[in-house]
Structure formats: C-alpha cells, structure tokens
Structure 1
C-alpha cells in the first residue's frame, strides 16, 4: 500500500507563485512517481478544474493514473466521461517539484482560488489540497457544523462501518 498524505500547514507564496510543499508530502510524491529516483525531483498533477471547487488538488502520478484508468472505463462519448476528462485532463497540469522543494502555482490557479501571499496545504488521503487560508477556515467551520449535527457522543470512526457495508 502506498504512503498517504498526512497533516496540514501554511506556507508563503512568492510573487512568482512559488510555494514550498510540506516535506512529508514530498516523500509521498516521490514514492508515488514511478519515474522518480534519488537525485531527481518528483512529478505530480494539480487539478484545478471544477467551478465549485475552492481548492486545487494534488495527485501523485500513481494516484492520477488510477483516476485516468477509472475514467477510461466509462463509455466513450458519455457525459460522465467527457465531464471527468475535462476536469482531470484538461483542467489540470503536470508539474515537477523544483530543487528547493517548491511548486509553482500559475497565476490562473492563484486567481481561481484567491491565493495571494499564503497557501494552506491539507492532506486528503492519497491526495492533498491547497487552499487560500481564509477559504479553508470557512470550509472547516462548515465541516465542524456538520459534525455538530450528530449526537454529542458521536464517534467519526462509525462512518467507516458505513463504508464497509456500502451504506
């Protein structure tokens, strides 16, 4: 089983859109890039598509390959396949981490999610997300409110039981 992303952190974004990737995330990206070897810099895919998304999602090369394979299983020409191809192929970019552990967020991406001088990184299992910090704070508040709808003694691990039964 591949390593998963873990943790969260905020990083400065310079005028050219360069931002450091959390060091622990870099190890996962290295492991998830079949072309990476010691001395090289890992590749990843940033998906910025989806007008309702307030974040950019980072995929290892292996994770993106898995998504591409699932999309390819959909009927050619179907609405679902076209929508997913548009988002995951067209509204994405493959990039390489630079020698100092940074990636470049293009102006288009920064404008889309409202990033100016800071970016918030948060792990999401086999992907990670990059948010404008105050947008993430608003999202986190909505998540807290969602959890508050349950009983006081609600254990989020109970949701895993639902995953195994398909509910």
Structure 2
C-alpha cells in the first residue's frame, strides 16, 4: 500500500525561496518517484492551477501518472479534457528536493501565494497529494488548527468513520 501525505506543518521560507519539505512528506515523494534511489534527489510535480486559487497542489510522479492516464482516457478536444490539461499540464512544474530536504519556490509561485521572505508556509497533507499555502490565507479560509469550526455540530463521541458510504467504510466498522 502506498504511503500517504498526512498532517500539517509550518515551514519558514527564506529570502531565496527555499523551504524545507517535511521529512514525512519527503518519504512519500521518494516512494512516488519511480526513478528515485538512495542518494538521489526525488522529483515531484507542483500544480499552481487556476489564477484565483491561492495554493499549490503537489503530487508524486506516480500520482501524476494516474491523473495523466485519466486525462488520456477522455475524448480529445472535449471541454473537460482541455480544462484538466490546462491545470495539470500547462499550470504545473516539476520540482526536485535538494540534498538538504528543501525545494526552491520560484518567485512566480511565491507571488501567487503572496509569500515573502521569512514568512511561514503551511504544508497540508491531503492523502494522495499535499498543499502549500501562505499560513494567513489558509487560516482566513479554515481557521487555525485549534479553532476549526468544521466539527462544532458533532457530538463529543462522534465517530468520523460513519461519514464513509457503506461501500467504502474501512474495516473496524463504525
């Protein structure tokens, strides 16, 4: 079973745009790069997407292959395929983690996020990919880690697994 991106990390971006990729995320990226081996630098894809989206979506090479296969299966020239090609191909770059576990965010991507030197970027694990946000932008949309209101209407003993459809419910039924 493939490793997944989990948890949230706050990482400082330096004046050159360098930011450390969380160690647990690096392991997933390494596992998802078919050409990676010990001592090499793993590659992954950064999707900067649509203009109004103030985040970066980052995928392993294997995860991007799955997305590419889904796009390839669509009718050539269809409006849906064109949109997906624009986002996942035209609005993406391949990135490489350096020997110190960092990536360099190009100025254009820092501008998209409104990130300046010495600010914190938020790395958010999203299962098959991770997102990079300016911390303040993320908190403006979702609140801080401690004050999210997504669960305010849930009982203290609520079991989140009931949200899965019965067909997709993990073992250890809720």
Change (3 A) 1:112 1:67: same
The one of 130, 140, 143 equivalent to 1:141 is 143
- Give 1:107's aligned residue: 107
Gaps in structure 1 of 5+ consecutive residues: none
- Give 1:152's aligned residue: 155
The alignment's C-alpha RMSD in Å is 2.0
Give, in angstroms, the shift of residue 144 of structure 1.
3.5
Q: TM-score, normalised by structure 2?
A: 0.86
| Secondary structure of the corresponding residue to residue 140 of structure 2 | helix
1:151 & 1:14 partners in 2: Cα distance?
A: 40
- Give 1:51's aligned residue: 51
Query: Which structure shows the higher helix fraction?
Result: 1
Gaps in structure 2 of 5+ consecutive residues: 170-174
Is 1:80 the counterpart of 2:77? The answer is no
Change (3 A) 1:7 1:85: same
Per-residue Cα deviation, 1:92-147 (whole angstroms, up to 9, x for no partner): 00011111110111111111111122211110001011110011112223993444
Aligned residues: 164
- Give 2:134's aligned residue: 132
Q: Which runs of 4+ in 1 moved over 6 A?
A: none
Q: TM-score, normalised by structure 1?
A: 0.90
- Give 2:172's aligned residue: none
- Give 2:124's aligned residue: 122
| Secondary structure of the corresponding residue to residue 148 of structure 2 | helix
Q: 59-68 or 115-124, which moves further after superposition?
A: 115-124
